[in-house]
Structure formats: C-alpha cells, structure tokens
Chains A and B, each alone.
Chain A
C-alpha cells in the first residue's frame, strides 16, 4: 500500500512538472509571462523582451537564443491586447524562423493601433 502511494505521488509530480515546465530554465519568469509557449522550448531561451511606446504605438522586440548546437525552427506571432486584455484585430500571421545552433535572433513587431497596450508572443519550437 505504501509503495502504491509512493508510485502515485512520484508519477503525479512528474506529470505536473512535464505539464508546466515548458520554458527553458534560462527564461525569466517576467519574460515568460509575456510568452504563450506551446510545447517544449526545445532549448530556445527567451532572453529579453523590450517594449516601447513610440508615436503612440507599441513596439516590441524579443530576443530568442538557441542554447543547442543544432538548428531549431520557431513558429511565432504577436497577439495584441488592449487595456482590458481583449484582443485587438484578427491577430498577426504566423511566421517561421530558423534559429541556428548557438544563435540569437530578434523578432520585432509594431502594434497595429494606438489602443494596444499589451501583447503576448505566441510560439512553438520544432527540433528541425
């Protein structure tokens, strides 16, 4: 009975960890809060996000770093949100980008309207 309980506990913990530990450990929590990652980060670290309001328009740049030695394929797009968290517009088109081994790329986008105050970077990473 004790063994059964232990097995359940270990597996439950493992399941919980696999379900939530998607981001690379090098991605800070503050940055991760702005990234809607699907699946595993597969060694792609979101190192920094810079958001600035220029001419009343939100401009966002995100640095992605591939800690692996082999290439990664990243699919991404920005989702624009207004002050109450509602989506603005239909959403951007998805983009595909190859991130070379040990390489860093910056993905930039400009909000389509002044009402945009927040954003999320939606992304998923394929091993190749």
Chain B
C-alpha cells in the first residue's frame, strides 16, 4: 500500500471519528451532578426531585411578567406594591422569592414604579424618623415626612398544589395565581395563572 493511500486512510478514519462525534448528540440544559462540586447553569432545568424548584420559580416569574407587560396596563407607568402571596401547598416555599423575581424584572423593564410593600414599610419609617427626629442632619437635606407616593395597584398571589401518588409514580401539579387589584376601586384589573406539572418515578 502506498504511503499516500495509508495517509488517506488515516485521515479518513479521523474524519469518521469526528463525524461520529458531531453526529448531533448534544447535552441538554438539565441540572446533573457530574462532579462532587459543580457550578451549574442557574437557568437550567432542575430535575433533582419533583418538589418546587428554581426552574419553577423562574418560569412563574417569566410568565407573570410577560403577561403583565403584554396587556399594556402599565402604559401610564403606575405605582404598584406587593401584597401577600399565600403558600397553600404542603411544602415550605418562600413565596417572597417569586414576587422578588417578578418585581425585579418589572422594575428593569422601566414600565412600572414599585412602592414599598407592607413588609418593607417599617424600614422606610425608621429611616424617615432617623432623618427628621435624631437632630443629626442638616435642615433641608432630610427627606420630608408625608411625601410618599401611594400604590395605585397591589399584586396579590397564591400558590396551590395537588399531589397524587401511587406505588411507582408521584405527580405534583402546581398552580400560581396572581391578581392585580386597583386599590381605590377594589377591582381586579388583571389576573393570570401559571400551571406546572411534575411527574417522577418513586
């Protein structure tokens, strides 16, 4: 066999290997433990268990923000505050986290102004009192009391779940409902839901 023929065959073998490698079997963006410690994709699909996870939180926030922005209810850049988010599931879930994600994305969109929620109000009151009553600040540089802007709308949410399980399967259905209520009129101006189904083998 000539030298050229041998080289050609060698190159062919290499190309075949590369072709097999690039034969389009790719990894999927799911959270897996490949090493003992691993930095993963924070936006990946987390399939460690079928309990409420990071991906669920992100999907809920994205759906709600998208739905709110799509309606055009924020045309006049109204003021909004966050009210309660009830967790009616059997799991411990920090629902504030969901609302924080929603608020972050909405604030970044520039379409809406958020005012302090009930949970954040005490800190605001404390700071106003410190500036106005401690006597430590120059007059005219302090924030005035009674100048806060009230919220036109309030966001109220609820997370529920339905769990079904057999000997082999566990199915969890989550439903997140969010309402935007006109504070003055008490009318529901917008409402949407995000449903998530997670099924696992036991």
Q: Are B18 and A15 closer than 8 Å at their CB atoms?
A: yes
Shortest Cβ distance from residue A75 to the other chain B in the assembled complex, whole angstroms? 5
Interface of chain A, helix or strand or loop or mixed? mixed
A residues 19-40 in Cβ contact with B at 8 Å: 19, 22, 38-40
Other-chain contact of B26, A11, A38, A59 (Cβ < 8 Å): A38
Q: Is B25's beta carbon under 8 Å from chain A?
A: yes
**Of listed B23, B29, B105, residue having the most chain A CB within 10 A:** B29
Question: In which size bucket is the chain A interface?
Answer: 35 or more
Please indicate the chain A residues that have their CB under 8 angstroms from the CB of B23 in the complex: 18, 40
Q: Are B19 and A93 closer than 8 Å at their CB atoms?
A: no
Interface of chain B, helix or strand or loop or mixed? helix
Other-chain contact of A11, B4, B16, B65, B72 (Cβ < 8 Å): B16
Interface size on B, residues (CB 8 A): 42
Please indicate the chain A residues that have their CB under 8 angstroms from the CB of B66 in the complex: 108-110, 112
Q: Are A11 and B12 closer than 8 Å at their CB atoms?
A: yes
Interchain Cβ contacts within 8 Å, total number: 108
CB-CB nearest in chain A for B56: A93
Q: Are A15 and B44 closer than 8 Å at their CB atoms?
A: no
Q: Are A110 and B12 closer than 8 Å at their CB atoms?
A: no
Please indicate the chain A residues that have their CB under 8 angstroms from the CB of B162 in the complex: none
Task: Report Cα–Cα, A108/B27, bound state, in Å.
Answer: 23
B5-40 near A? 1/0 per residue, CB < 8 Å: 101110110011011001111111110000000000
